Amino acid sequence: MAACSTTYFEAGRGFAARAAERNNELLAQQSRRRRGACTPEVYFSKHFDNTRLVKAPDPARVREMRLFSAAITILFSLIMVYGLQHFSAIENGYRVESEKQVRDQLREENRQLRLSEAQLSQPGRIDKCPASWVLPSRSPARWSIPPTA
């Protein structure tokens, strides 16, 4: 009757699970009763001499390990080649950008040199330009005093 009674906490488990647990408890109690209450358990260490053992060759495993090593080597090589290409592409991008900056700098310098060449080759042109750029002089009548508020 005690084995079939259900407590509040055991309600979620099935009958078979509760019966199996109870059977395991009873089996453990029986084995303890047979040995006696205070039977000491003594373990003796055994020393094995394995120096004379020789590992048998396994050609299938050796073949598998060679195949695995070859596959890993090929994979590593492919990853290294990809990394080399990737980083060289990045390096080329930086090099192209610096070349563009040098090109722009040289273009600006070339423009400045052409302007100075044009100024030196035609000095009369230099005298005409400022005359056309002269601003009208400011007469005192055009000056105005801001009103004070």
DSSP 64-108: HHHHHHHHHHHHHHHHHHHHHHHHHHHHHHHHHHHHHHHHHHHHH
How far apart CA 90 and CA 77 sit, in angstroms, is: 20
Length in residues, the chain: 149
Model confidence at 38: pLDDT above 50: yes
Taking only Cα atoms into account, the Rg of the chain, rounded to an integer number of angstroms, comes to: 50
Mean pLDDT, rounded, for 22-48: 74
Which residue, chain included where needed, has tokens 């309600």? 11
Token pair, residue 121, equals 């080759």
Mean pLDDT, rounded, for 125-137: 62
How far apart CA 85 and CA 82 sit, in angstroms, is: 5
pLDDT of residue 1: 46
| Residue 14, C-beta contacts closer than 8 angstroms, at least 6 positions apart | none
Top pLDDT among 4 and 53 is at 53
User: Which tens digits make up the pLDDT trace of 40-85?
Assistant: 666 777 888 888 888 889 999 999 999 999 999 999 999 999 999 9
